[in-house]
Amino acid sequence: MKIENCWVLGVVCVWGWVCLVSGGRDDELSCNMYEGEWVWDDSYPLYDSSNCPNIRSEFNCLKYGRPDHLYLKYRWQPTNCNLPRFDGKDFLTKLKGKQIMFVGDSVSLNQWQSLICLLHSSVPQTQILEQGDDINVSNYTFPDYKVSVLVFHSTHLVDIEVEKIGRVLKLDSIKSGSLWKNMDILVFNTWLWWYRRGPKQPWDYIQLGDKIVKDMDRMEAFRIGLTTWGNWVDADVDTNKTKVLFQGISPSHYNGMEWNEPGVKNCSKETKPINGSTYPAGLPKALYVVEDVLKNITKPVHLLNITTLSQLRKDAHPSSYNSFKGMDCTHWCVAGLTDTWNQLLSVQVTS
């Protein structure tokens, strides 16, 4: 029983005992943790990123000279409850013997790296075993706890296969599922690559059933691909053993119109989050597609609904403070925002 939960329930506490009976862990699950605002907290960040083993240079903003450090100092404050501080020992203890895998694009890699840093900082003396080819799958195991934290690289979740005509994006095929479904916890994500064109587009044709086309409406392709994934969950995943989560759409900040600063074309000058709980531009269309598909899945899948809270963090991208000196307003600095995603993940998987 936690008194602070009662306290934040405010009005409900008028009925004293009702508040007490409903206090504690259940509130964290029943409260919408994804609605809230960013508040200054001097005890943040949760770890010193220079001590973290192996953060890829794309996310290592401090190493590449980011001069402003305010972005490290914000804590997510849900409106109706508190987000527990990340407790790595508790996480590892409760997940003893389990394997947790992030499946998706570089945004999944971004969250995976944050989780490794968070766990390492909680048990700095513990050995970490590294396995995998580092391109398609990385497996970091904490042998003292028998917990493996993996990331599986997949741009679209559905397959891309090289055939005689070229690279074919197969909207109705998921071949890697046989590996994924052995995991105890799966965190999926895909979005970034569905609108890629030109040299960055990783396929030449799209296939659906027997039909092969040169291109199609990309949002529709995304919906079909995601539905294939949803049907795979329903058909193949034993959700009694495996907990399935889907990461909401991770937003980019290249268009200041979205946050009422017309003329701004990137995140290079952003050093503070947006005040309050709402993003002026509203939710991206892709999130509605995700919500539609998730509603249709029979088995339990939890939406890690990080979209709005991340939209508010226009300050949390690497911008030019990364190894390639480009302008990255898509990924997130580690330490930083993705630590909050993992705090939210921890609430879902440790209770």
Ligand X SMILES: *[C@@H]1O[C@H](CO)[C@@H](O)[C@H](O)[C@H]1NC(C)=O
In the bound state with ligand X, the residue whose beta carbon lies nearer, of 36 and 336, is: 36
Establish whether 331 is a catalytic residue.
yes
Cβ–Cβ contacts within 10 Å for residue 33, how many? 24
Residues of this chain that bind ligand X (CB under 6 A): 34-35, 99, 129, 131, 133, 135-136, 139, 141, 148, 150, 227, 230, 238, 240, 264-266, 268-269, 275, 291-293, 296, 303, 305, 308, 327
CB of 269 to ligand X, least distance (A): 6
CB of 140 to ligand X, least distance (A): 8
CB of 207 to ligand X, least distance (A): 16
Task: Give every strand in the sheet of 147-153, ordered side by side.
Answer: 129-132, 137-142, 147-153, 99-104, 185-188, 243-247, 301-304
In the bound state with ligand X, the residue whose beta carbon lies nearer, of 6 and 244, is: 244
Identify whether the C-beta of residue 166 lies closer than 8 Å to the C-beta of residue 204. yes
* 3-state secondary structure labels for all residues of 169-184: EECCCCCCHHHHCCCC
CB of 326 to ligand X, least distance (A): 7
Distance between terminal CA atoms of the chain? 14
In the bound state with ligand X, the residue whose beta carbon lies nearer, of 111 and 154, is: 154
Establish whether 153 is a catalytic residue.
no
Cβ–Cβ contacts within 10 Å for residue 259, how many? 17
For residue 138, the one-letter residue type is S
* 3-state secondary structure labels for all residues of 130-144: EEECCCCEEEEEECC
Q: Which of 106, 138, 310, 346 is catalytic?
A: 106
In the bound state with ligand X, the residue whose beta carbon lies nearer, of 93 and 136, is: 136
Question: What is d(CA 42, CA 316) in angstroms, rounded to the nearest whole number?
Answer: 17
CB of 214 to ligand X, least distance (A): 22
In the bound state with ligand X, the residue whose beta carbon lies nearer, of 43 and 275, is: 275
Q: Which of 120, 253, 317, 331 is catalytic?
A: 331
Bridge partners (DSSP) of residue 161 are 168
b/e sequence 125-145, b meaning 16+ C-beta within 10 Å: eeebeeeeeeeebbbbbbeeb
In the bound state with ligand X, the residue whose beta carbon lies nearer, of 2 and 265, is: 265
CB of 265 to ligand X, least distance (A): 5
Question: What is d(CA 167, CA 33) in angstroms, rounded to the nearest whole number?
Answer: 41
Q: Which of 27, 159, 328, 339 is catalytic?
A: 328
Establish whether 328 is a catalytic residue.
yes
Catalytic center residues: 106, 328, 331
